[in-house]
Amino acid sequence: MISLARKRQNKWTMVINIILIVLVIIWSIPIIGLLISSLRPQDDVLNTGWWTIFKGDGEFTLNNYRRVLGGSQETFTDAEGNVLRASGDNLSQAFINSFTVTIPSVIIPILIAAAAAFGFAWMIFPGRKLFFTIVVALLVVPLQISLIPILRDYMKIGLTGSYLGIWLAHTGFGLPLGIYLLYNYVSTIPRDVFESAFLDGARPMVIFVRLVLPLSVPAIASLGIFQFLWVWNDLLVALVFLGGTSDVAVLTQRLANMVGSRGQDWHLLTAGAFIVMIVPILVFFFLQRYFVQGLMAGSVKG
């Protein structure tokens, strides 16, 4: 009976693995097609499908990336015959802007959420349960309804179009999920750890820095993935609080502008799209083992 049960289990395991492999292949096909198209010349992209490259047709080039990153120039002529010179789409500056927006927008809410989760989980103060209930309730509030009121306040204090304004916006929008996720993890830390630290004379800030943060690395890394993916791929919040000027525009804004101005230039659009998506893909693959841990944070106690 045990041997038969194991055979059935191995059979189902094999079937599940095959299904997962097929799903991964299907999910990867658009990414592979996007990458190949971004490396092909314009004529090849317009006249043949990307899969023809496997037959030995066509060639690869990096000129598409040079153009969208601003490394080359295009020549145009106006109605009077004057020669105008326009640089590439200059995604290099937008690439830097995206990092400038994303990194603080990830670090700040993580630190605040970790401190709040520690307070809600292990510190006793009046109204603790009420405040935590309010935080959890904010998870169901769509951020779109708060954009205009916050923008009006920003205009009064001069934060529109500034990086500080969008850092604060992303921090506020990310805190409810961050506090809830880290609370579920911090609350599972054995009480004996904190009692021993209190008996040794450690203050709450020392406990938070030397115990809570190191022990919560899996949950913090998982929250960092969620927040990074959200901020990096965001278009709406950046468009509302930063505006559309080229000196502060992030990658998603520049890519949206390319879709409007280069609707037929698929070789450039695919290159720009791959530049936008390569960083989230790398972040996810390097930190994927924390992703599942974060999803399961607090689900098992003991």
pLDDT tens across the length of the chain (302 residues): 556 667 777 778 888 889 989 998 998 888 888 888 888 888 888 888 888 888 777 788 888 888 888 754 454 444 555 444 444 567 888 889 999 999 999 999 999 999 999 989 888 888 888 999 998 888 888 888 888 899 999 999 988 888 999 999 999 999 999 999 899 888 888 888 877 888 877 788 888 888 888 888 888 888 888 899 899 999 899 999 988 777 888 888 888 887 766 667 778 888 888 888 888 888 878 777 766 665 555 444 44
Q: Tell me the three state secondary structure of residue 67.
A: helix
Give me the pLDDT at residue 209, please. Answer: 85
Work out whether the CA dihedral 159, 141, 117, 188 comes out positive or negative: negative
On whether the CB atoms of residues 280 and 205 are closer than 8 A, the answer is no
Give me the pLDDT at residue 297, please. Answer: 53
Give me the pLDDT at residue 79, please. Answer: 52
Residue 61 and residue 251: Cα distance in Å, rounded?
A: 22
Record the pTM: 0.80
Residue 43 and residue 63: Cα distance in Å, rounded?
A: 13
Give me the pLDDT at residue 295, please. Answer: 57
Residue 212 and residue 47: Cα distance in Å, rounded?
A: 58
**Ramachandran angles phi, psi of 60, nearest 5°:** -105, 150
- Beta strands 83-87; 73-77: pairing state: antiparallel
Residue 186 and residue 235: Cα distance in Å, rounded?
A: 32
On whether the CB atoms of residues 90 and 275 are closer than 8 A, the answer is no
Give me the pLDDT at residue 260, please. Answer: 67
Give me the pLDDT at residue 300, please. Answer: 46
> Identity (one letter) of the amino acid at 232?
W
Give me the pLDDT at residue 105, please. Answer: 95
